[in-house]
Amino acid sequence: MIGKPLIYTFNPVEERTLGFTPGTTEAKESKYITPLIDALSEIDEDPRIALYREDNPDFMNENTWVRAMSHVYMRGINIKESTLIIDEAQNMTRGDLKKILTRVHDSTKVIMIGHTGQNDLAGATVSGFAPYIEHFRNEPYAKVVELTKNFRGELAQKADELTW
């Protein structure tokens, strides 16, 4: 295990219909953790991931160090002594991000990942990602890192440069 326990959160973009699809919460959300599994595999880490389960809210165990959950289940929780990754943050509204960030204690490191050019929400202005980045940009406890090169390669970089 690397460092503190890791909480990986994401936005199920089809959240409004997710509840109507067949299967358990775990089955519905499992497709959203593929980027996390890929990243951990890339650095030769065994992910040992636990997904939130409605029938067992205390779902962590001694072999699990990654807790993956949609922001939908974050209301009312406390996030302490952890590393929190908010993935695809450009697909979260200001309210979604506020719900997550107001749960974080000082003992937690937050990594918010997003790309303003890849917003899947109904409107780009709905996203809370850019406003929150600017809100925290000059705070002494925050660092903003802006990547300019796509790590996947030339084709991905060129595709990313297209603006609408």
Q: Tens of pLDDT along the chain (164 residues)?
A: 456 788 888 887 665 555 556 666 666 666 677 777 777 777 777 666 655 555 555 545 545 567 777 788 788 889 999 999 999 999 999 999 999 999 999 999 999 999 888 888 887 788 999 999 999 999 999 999 998 877 788 998 898 888 76
pLDDT at residue number 50: 58
- Give the pTM: 0.75
State both tokens at 111.
């990594």
Q: How many CA atoms lie within 13 A of 36 on its CB side?
A: 26
Q: How many CA atoms lie within 13 A of 13 on its CB side?
A: 15
Spatial separation of the C-alpha atoms in residues 31 and 12, rounded to whole Å = 9
E strand or H helix that includes residue 35: helix 34-42
Which of 55, 77, 50 shows the shortest CA–CA distance to 65? 50
Cβ pair 54, 79 in contact under 8 A: no
pLDDT at residue number 75: 81
pLDDT at residue number 1: 43
pLDDT at residue number 97: 96
CATH architecture group of domain 6-161: 3-Layer(aba) Sandwich (3.40)
pLDDT at residue number 3: 61
pLDDT at residue number 142: 96
pLDDT at residue number 104: 95
State both tokens at 129.
């990602």
